[in-house]
Structure 1
Amino acid sequence: MIDSKQASAALAEIDDIVQRVKQSQLYELASLAAIWWGVLVFAGNVVTWLWPYYAVYAWPAVDILGVGGLVAIRLLSPPHVQGAAFDIRLVLVFVLFFAFGYICTNMLGHFGPRQLGAFWPIYFMLFYTLAGLWFGTAFVAIGLGIIALTLIGFFWIGEAFPLWMAFVNGGGLILGGLWMRRI
């Protein structure tokens, strides 16, 4: 027989384990998403650096493949990791996200290629960092690190800025995704 203090302690320990399992499952999905986006962003930046003319085609392809990959990761993940069924709000979040970014860069700001190359990673990482305030410090560390390195490259890297961003943004997401798998 256990007393009420022991029962409370046991329930608290169970709750702690449940929270750690939930965070682990979230990190599992997030790491796959980060690696997926990292590969795509790396490729998009390499295309931008090697063949700037084709960047206008590469980035919409990166975005479409990226969102499609996220939907596939969500739908193909095991039921114990998925939690609730697929939620259309995930797609709507991306539609609103890209629409707001487009308004800022093309309607309000008229950004050039270099400014676009810095804006989009910083914009993505802002939300990545904000998510980390709820989901874990790995998101905050990855987001702030990529933002800092993007700004360093923007101000101090010359013509090789797209190549810098391939490694900073694409490589940073890949490394961050691999890091989250170990946490």
Structure 2
Amino acid sequence: MGISKTEAASALADIESTTGRGRLLKTYQVGGPILMVWGVVWAAGYTAMGVLPPERWGLAWLILDAMGIAASLLLGRRGDKAAAKTGQGWKVGAAIVAIMAFMAATYVVFRPTSVEPAIVYPGLMTGLVYAGAGIAFAPRYLWIGAAIFVASLVGFFFFQPWLAFWMAAVGGGGLFVGGLWLRRA
């Protein structure tokens, strides 16, 4: 007894769906710990902004970003095998560099006249990037991005005297909790 073309096509579609779901779960499992690292980096960086004079902020962020990048590279090695198979690993790195270049150029071109927009801008950009990734590839990133975007705006409009601490809590905390959520996928 053989199977019909319709049954074979249905079985192949089921296999493809299961394979895609497996890849998405692997993406979440690799991305979760990385998001948690950046949650800690953000919490420490924004807390430093709240307690240090502005001329020391750059150094604090430089050190924290270097630590975050190193930790991300180490954690990302888990996903290297999957990225190598698809040939997509370099695209993620290139996208991150492009986003960082855009953010730096935006600061240079628009030169914020007060500190509050400069503090909240990374939260808005991060929210936008994660929401875009969620729409295009991995739906959970949409919710993480939307939460950080909205929380950043709430802080800008309602908590300006404590904005650095607000961003430490909602940006850093949001990324960390989002990482936990992804890891448990």
TM-score range for the pair, normalised by the shorter chain length: 0.7 to 0.9
2:30 and 2:78 in contact (8 A); partners too: no
Aligned CA distance change for structure 1 residues 85 and 76 (closer, same or farther; 3 Å)? farther
Distance 2:77 2:69 in 1: 12
TM-superposition CA deviations, 1:115-146 (whole Å, max 9, x none):
11100111122111111112222111111111
Distance 1:82 1:73 in 2: 15
Distance 2:106 2:152 in 1: 18
Partner of 1:3: helix, strand, or coil? coil
Query: In the alignment, what sits opposite 1:106?
Result: 108
Query: In the alignment, what sits opposite 2:27?
Result: 26
Query: In the alignment, what sits opposite 2:137?
Result: 135
Query: In the alignment, what sits opposite 1:167?
Result: 169
Q: CA deviation at 1:87?
A: 4.1
Q: CA deviation at 1:51?
A: 1.8
1:132 and 1:140 in contact (8 A); partners too: yes
Aligned CA distance change for structure 1 residues 112 and 95 (closer, same or farther; 3 Å)? farther
Distance 1:111 1:84 in 2: 45
Distance 2:79 2:93 in 1: 17
Query: In the alignment, what sits opposite 2:42?
Result: 41
Partner of 2:112: helix, strand, or coil? coil
Q: CA deviation at 1:66?
A: 2.6
Identity of aligned residues (%): 26
TM-superposition CA deviations, 1:44-85 (whole Å, max 9, x none):
011111223432211222333333333222224473576446
Q: CA deviation at 1:106?
A: 2.4
Where does structure 1 differ by over 6 angstroms across 4 or more consecutive aligned residues? Answer: none
Deviates more, 1:101-110 or 1:17-26: 101-110
Distance 1:36 1:142 in 2: 15
What is the one-letter code of the residue matched to 2:17?
A: D
Aligned pairs (5 A) from 1:84-103 = 84=86, 87-103=89-105
TM-score, with structure 2 as normaliser: 0.86
Deviates more, 1:3-12 or 1:83-92: 83-92
TM-superposition CA deviations, 1:163-183 (whole Å, max 9, x none):
111110000001111111233
1:12 aligns with 2:13: yes
Query: In the alignment, what sits opposite 1:153?
Result: 155
Q: Unaligned 5+ residue runs, structure 1?
A: none
Query: In the alignment, what sits opposite 2:51?
Result: 50
Partner of 1:160: helix, strand, or coil? helix
Distance 1:19 1:35 in 2: 24
Deviates more, 1:13-22 or 1:100-109: 100-109
Task: Say what the alpha-carbon RMSD is for the aligned residues.
Answer: 2.2
Query: In the alignment, what sits opposite 1:3?
Result: 3
Partner of 1:159: helix, strand, or coil? helix
What is the one-letter code of the residue matched to 1:131?
A: A
